[in-house]
Amino acid sequence: MVKWKAGIASVALGMLSLLVPATSATAAPDKPTPQPAVTQECGTDLKQEAAALAADGKSGTATCVRKQPRKAGEAKKTPKSEAGLAAADICGGSSTVTRTAHCVIEDGILLIFTVPNGVVIGSIQYTVSSLTTLDYSSLRWTQSWHYQANSVAGPAIPAVLDSFVYAEPQCLASCTVSSSGLVGGSALPGRVHSTTTYFHSPPGGYTWGAHGGMRYWFANAAWVNPTTIASITAPAVHRCDDALTGYPSGCVYDSVRPVHDVLSSRYPSYARHLQLAINHFRMPSILTRTQNQTLMDNNYNTACPPGYPKPTTPGTWSCDEYPFKSTYNGAYSQPYGRTILIINWNTGAGFSCNANWLPVRAANDSGGYSSCLIPLAENTLGGADLGAFYYKSRVLDGDQFQVRVI
């Protein structure tokens, strides 16, 4: 990588501030757009690349690009552009991925060098960011894309000043572009080029992968090859499915394990049972969902057998089980079951599951399953929330998820 003296960069930026007005470009110029055609990514030896171009009978100035995608959680300070928007802002400064969104940030530098000597005479440092948002209830998704030049260095010559950047959407797997627009304009500081593309995946069966991205490239008529190769800004492949009976199809990043949050303030007894099972008795917090109805019935009937002793006020209490019956970790797969009784001898307070058809769990016992009698309203609400979580996170048969009591 070529290091530029601060004085040269400052002079170049000063000249550019007079030549380039600050605007936010959202559409490509009316003149024909040069299309990417030349494979030209920076190698380790620019002199060798320049010599190869000269051997083809070319001379003047050439370009190549170096990119460095940011890792998840890796932040980098990006200066605000004169248009008032930093490209990295849509990602909060670092690349991240959740169950329904993926933000990608790439830092890059466009190097401009002489042919046949391979001497760098200019550069444009830039940031590209992209936020892809999926929909758990639809096969449509969006990708917002931003380009921002952060600095420029080199003499005020057409090979530097007349550089442009262009971008357009591209389907990479199982998708069509619903709506979008080619964007482009000056690649120099003072501009932010932005677009949002709408993709759609056709139904593909039980589950299938889908993938879209934005391709962008640089162009300048003063270069010996007037365009660079098109780079692709794309998130990971995501999973779409039609696997939840009674619900519409949708898409998620299935590489991300979803978390089911159980709120203590919403259902105290239900949350307390899960909290004791996971935190106190070290039962697994990471479970694997099953959609096999027979297995779910067997799990529940094992944990809460038909005819289990009912409380003296029937209709107000319900049998709760952990791990959930809708998982492969449920009671039917466990060697034994226990109920929970916690007594604080100092205060007299405690928590009793009252599932008296099972022995009480010992302090050092972390195996098996747990059954607990809790208020019917809480158990009903907890089950409804778990079902909604399965839908909104599109947790399918064989998918892992984490249970967290907060």
The pLDDT of residue 66 is 83
Q: From CA 63, how far away is CA 40, in angstroms rounded?
A: 7
Q: For residues 134 and 139, give the distance between their C-alpha atoms in angstroms, rounded to a whole number.
A: 8
> Residue 357, by phi and psi: left (phi above 0), alpha (psi -120 to 50) or beta?
alpha
Q: Which residues contact 259 (CB under 8 A, 6 or more apart)?
A: 401, 402, 403, 404
The stretches of 35-107 forming alpha helices (DSSP H) are: 46-55
* Closest to 387 in 3D by CA, of 246, 256, 255, 268: 246
Task: Give the per-residue pLDDT at 252.
Answer: 98
Strand, helix or coil at 298?
A: helix
CA–CA separation, 338 and 353 (whole Å): 10
Per-residue pLDDT of the chain (406 residues; tens, 9 = 90+): 333 333 333 333 333 333 333 333 444 444 445 544 333 557 678 888 888 888 888 889 999 888 776 655 555 544 444 333 444 456 777 788 999 999 999 999 999 999 999 999 999 999 999 999 999 999 999 999 999 999 999 989 999 999 999 999 999 999 999 877 789 999 999 888 999 999 999 998 899 999 999 999 999 999 999 999 899 999 999 999 999 999 999 999 999 999 999 999 999 999 999 999 999 999 999 999 999 999 999 999 999 999 887 776 666 899 999 999 999 999 999 999 999 999 876 665 689 999 999 999 998 898 899 999 999 999 999 999 999 999 999 999 999 999 999 9
Give the gyration radius of the chain's Cα atoms: 30
pLDDT value for 86: 45
Q: Buried (b) or exposed (e) across 322-338, using 16+ Cβ within 10 A? A: bbbbbbbbbbbebeebb
